[in-house]
Structure 1
Amino acid sequence: MALGRNRRRERGVDYWPGFVDALSTLLLAIMFLLTVFVVAQFILGREISGKDEVLNRLNSQIAELTQLLALEKSGKQDLEDTLAALQSSLASSESERSRLQELLDSGAGTADAANAKVGRLTEELDAEKQVSARAMSQIELLNQQIAALRAQIAAVEEALQASEAKDQASQTRIADLGRRLNVALAQRVQELNRYRSDFFGRLREILSDRENIRIVGDRFVFQSEVLFPVGGADLDAAGQAEMDKLAAAVLELAEEIPSEINWVLRVDGHTDASPLTGTGRYRDNWELSSARATSVVKYLISRGVPANRLVAAGFGEFQPIAEGETPEVLSQNRRIELKLTER
Structure 2
Amino acid sequence: MALARNRRRERGADYWPGFVDALSTLLIAIMFLLTVFVVAQFVLSREISGKDEVLNRLNNQIAELTQMLALEKGGKADLEDALANLQSSLDTSEKERSRLQSLLDAGSGSSAQAQAKIGELSGKLDEQQQVSARAMSQIDLLNQQIAALRAQIAAVEQALQASEAKDQSSQAKIADLGRRLNVALAQKVQELNRYRSDFFGRLREILSDRQNIRIVGDRFVFQSEVLFPSGGADMNPAGQDEMAKLALALIDLAKEIPPDINWVLRVDGHTDNVQLSGNGRYPDNWSLSAARAVSVVKFLISKGVPADRLAAAGFGEFQPIAPGDTLEARAQNRRIELKLTER
2:203 aligned with 1:193: no
Aligned counterparts, 1:76-225, within 5 A = 151=155, 154-155=158-159, 158-205=162-209, 207=210, 210=211, 212-225=212-225
User: How far apart, in 2, do the equivalents of 1:196 and 1:341 lie?
Assistant: 10
Deviation for aligned residue 1:237: 2.4
Aligned counterparts, 1:1-343, within 5 A = 151=155, 154-155=158-159, 158-205=162-209, 207=210, 210=211, 212-343=212-343
Kindly provide the amino acid, as one letter, of the partner of residue 298 in structure 2: K
Kindly provide the amino acid, as one letter, of the partner of residue 329 in structure 1: A
Secondary structure at 2:325 match in 1: coil
User: How far apart, in 2, do the equivalents of 1:307 and 1:214 lie?
Assistant: 24
Is the 1:266–1:310 contact (alpha carbons within 8 Å) kept by the matching residues of 2? Answer: yes
Deviation for aligned residue 1:276: 0.8
CA displacement, residues 7-59 of structure 1 (integer Å, 9 cap, x when unaligned):
xxxxxxxxxxxxxxxxxxxxxxxxxxxxxxxxxxxxxxxxxxxxxxxxxxxxx
| C-alpha spacing 1:296/1:151, structure 2 compared with 1 (3 Å) | farther
Deviation for aligned residue 1:260: 4.5
CA displacement, residues 72-122 of structure 1 (integer Å, 9 cap, x when unaligned):
xxxxxxxxxxxxxxxxxxxxxxxxxxxxxxxxxxxxxxxxxxxxxxxxxxx
Kindly provide the amino acid, as one letter, of the partner of residue 294 in structure 1: V
Kindly provide the amino acid, as one letter, of the partner of residue 187 in structure 2: V
User: How far apart, in 2, do the equivalents of 1:290 and 1:151 lie?
Assistant: 76
| C-alpha spacing 1:147/1:192, structure 2 compared with 1 (3 Å) | same
Is the 1:188–1:261 contact (alpha carbons within 8 Å) kept by the matching residues of 2? Answer: no
User: How far apart, in 2, do the equivalents of 1:327 and 1:264 lie?
Assistant: 33
Deviation for aligned residue 1:152: 5.2
Matched positions, count: 205
Percent identity at matched positions? 52
Secondary structure at 1:321 match in 2: coil
Kindly provide the amino acid, as one letter, of the partner of residue 176 in structure 1: R
Is the 1:250–1:305 contact (alpha carbons within 8 Å) kept by the matching residues of 2? Answer: yes
CA displacement, residues 254-306 of structure 1 (integer Å, 9 cap, x when unaligned):
22234454322221111011101122222211121122112212222233323
User: How far apart, in 2, do the equivalents of 1:160 and 1:261 lie?
Assistant: 47
Q: Pick the structure with greater CA Rg.
A: 1
Segments of 5+ residues of structure 2 without an aligned counterpart are 1-70, 77-141
Deviation for aligned residue 1:144: 8.1
CA displacement, residues 197-227 of structure 1 (integer Å, 9 cap, x when unaligned):
110121123x2xx2x3211222110001111
User: How far apart, in 1, do the equivalents of 2:294 and 2:148 lie?
Assistant: 79
Aligned residue number for residue 45 of structure 2:
none
Deviation for aligned residue 1:249: 1.2
Deviation for aligned residue 1:248: 1.5
Kindly provide the amino acid, as one letter, of the partner of residue 264 in structure 1: V
Kindly provide the amino acid, as one letter, of the partner of residue 305 in structure 2: V
Kindly provide the amino acid, as one letter, of the partner of residue 193 in structure 2: V
With a CA cutoff of 8 Å and minimum separation of 6, indicate the structure with the bigger relative contact order: 2
- Please, what TM-score do these two structures have when normalized by structure 1? 0.52
User: How far apart, in 2, do the equivalents of 1:255 and 1:283 lie?
Assistant: 40
Deviation for aligned residue 1:193: 0.9
